[in-house]
């Protein structure tokens, strides 16, 4: 077996604070837009079906919240290269 002299492991690229701030604020904006979209669609569906109680608004807001959490966690755990 050959020995490899002074092989260093590959270094991770450090991101600047501005890049990190942009990444996290983008995630927050994405989550807010998804929740607002769920509420908007839910209100339109409640109006279409003439529901007295906004069940569809609440249901879609929560569904889109979970979708936003999934996308945010996916980006946090597996960042793009």
Quick: pLDDT tens for 19-66: 889 989 999 999 999 999 999 999 999 999 999 999 999 999 999 999
What are the domain boundaries of the chain? Answer: 31-77
Neighbours of 31 (CB within 10 A): 17
CA 5/CA 12 separation, integer angstroms: 21
- pTM, whole model, 2 decimals? 0.78
CA 77/CA 18 separation, integer angstroms: 20
């Amino acid at each position: 077996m050959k020995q490899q002299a002074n092989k260093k492991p590959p270094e991770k690229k450090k991101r600047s604070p501005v890049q990190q701030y942009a990444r996290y604020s983008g995630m927050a904006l994405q989550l807010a837009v998804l929740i607002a979209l769920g509420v908007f669609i839910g209100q339109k569906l409640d109006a279409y079906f003439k529901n007295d109680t906004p069940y569809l608004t609440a249901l879609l807001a929560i569904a889109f919240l979970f979708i936003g959490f999934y996308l945010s966690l996916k980006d946090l755990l597996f960042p793009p290269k």
